[in-house]
Amino acid sequence: MKFKLWCGSKVGKQCILILAGTIVLAILLFILDTNQKLPVNEDGSSVLYRGGYGAGDREEALTAKVEGAGEKEDLTVTIGEREYGADETEEILTDAGSRLETYILGENVSLDLVRTNLNLITKIPDTSIEVAWETSDYKLMDATGELHSDELDAGGTLITLTAVLSYNQTHVVEELPACIYPPLISDHEAVYQSLERAVKQTEEETKSEKEVVLPNEVNGNPVIWGQKKQQRAGMILLLGLLMAGLVILADKEKVKQELKKRRRQMILDYPDIINQYTVLLSAGLTAKNAWARMVEEYEKKKEQIQSRYAYEEMIYTLREMQSGRSESECYERFGQRCDLQEYRKFGAMLAQNLKKGSKGLADLLKGEAANAFEERKNQAKKLGEEASTKLLLPMILMLLVVFIIIIVPAFLSIQM
């Protein structure tokens, strides 16, 4: 019976769902692993398929059993990519060389007009053909295709790019002429590039001197220098505002959590308060004396236990009574301060029975105590479900990790 109740609970359903998914996946993988066989050729021999050109090497985990040599053994076989035949290698290299220009242009339209860096690749895409580059003038362009703008002539300069394409032990050389020009820039950019060159030249010429004299003019135009202002004040102000905002949010969250804690604690204490108060009334004490007795007992053991919000409100209510405020008003104010339906009902019951007489109050409180204990059990069950829900996410993440560990190697090992 308990097992059936557990299966019907939220936690039980979650566990059953996880176990069912795990079992189905395990069955599928078992069937997949059981039916996995190597393909065979027309002669009936087992075969392994190579990867395509440029796919690289891969390892295959196999088992082999040699008749008469004992039990089968696990073997790891390395399968290389498919290679070009000796008679077609040179043709493949030549064809790749004829397509080099399309790979290296970058943002340029053609090699007849090069204004930005070229993309001198070191390997032909989707192949194992390697490419090594040389340029006829390294002052203008290096072997990676980067232009040296300071050295370029506005009228254009013709250079030769030499590409050596290699595959295994076969090499093919391709030469590509390129006409390179300085990048297109605005007049504004040109002026400040000239200024940067002037500063750089001055710095190089005065390395042995104590100070560097900045140029007063560039291209005939005067230059006014100044120290760039740091934006530290703005950053500090922004950081301060951000920290203040975080403090406010943290304080609001703290208050929210404190109120939540207060509400939860008062709900859990309510059945004990009602039950204890009912016992004292049944023993013959008046409503006020029963209240005072409960406060007295709480204050005696207050140092040994954690402060309880509901009992602190009862202390405050007793002080109000002792200061001269009417007893019924104090009970009503107690319910309002607690700000929970249960305590407002409790305060209203005490206030009304003072006006109508205390006859029947004990019976009413006994019924309220029974209801309060039922509510407390429901609250405890709810807290348990919340705790199990918080644990559900880590469990799901762990299950996903296990699935990945199992599924990925299985699918990678499938022979396509």
| Per-residue pLDDT tens listing for the chain (416 residues) | 566 666 666 666 777 777 777 787 777 777 766 656 666 667 666 666 666 555 566 777 667 667 666 666 666 777 766 566 666 777 777 887 888 888 888 888 888 888 888 888 888 887 778 889 888 888 888 888 888 876 777 778 888 889 888 887 788 888 889 898 888 777 777 777 777 888 888 888 888 888 888 788 887 788 888 877 666 667 777 777 788 778 788 888 888 888 888 888 888 788 888 888 888 887 878 888 888 888 888 888 887 778 888 888 888 988 988 888 888 888 888 888 888 888 888 888 888 877 766 566 666 777 776 776 777 667 667 666 666 666 777 777 887 888 777 777 766 666 44
CB atoms within 10 A of CB 385: 13
CB atoms within 10 A of CB 61: 10
The answer to whether residues 40 and 46 touch, using CB atoms and an 8 Å cutoff, is: yes
Asked whether the whole model's pTM tops 0.75, one would answer no
Rg over CA atoms, the chain: 43
In 283-360, which residue ranges form alpha helices assigned H by DSSP? 287-300, 309-322, 327-338, 341-356
The pLDDT value recorded for residue 416 is: 44
Quick one: CA dihedral 254, 260, 265, 270, positive or negative? positive
The letter for the amino acid at 255 is V
Distance of CA 117 to the CA centre of its chain: 37
* CA angle (316 as vertex; 313, 322 as ends), nearest 5: 145
The pLDDT value recorded for residue 82 is: 59
The pLDDT value recorded for residue 70 is: 64
Residue 314's alpha-carbon distances to 102, 263, 266, 318, in angstroms, are: 86, 15, 12, 6
The pLDDT value recorded for residue 356 is: 67
Q: How far apart are CA 325 and CA 317, in angstroms?
A: 10
The letter for the amino acid at 147 is L
Give the CA count within 13 Å in the CB-facing half-sphere of 321.
19
Strands 157-167 and 130-135: antiparallel
Q: How far apart are CA 92 and CA 80, in angstroms?
A: 19
The pLDDT value recorded for residue 184 is: 75
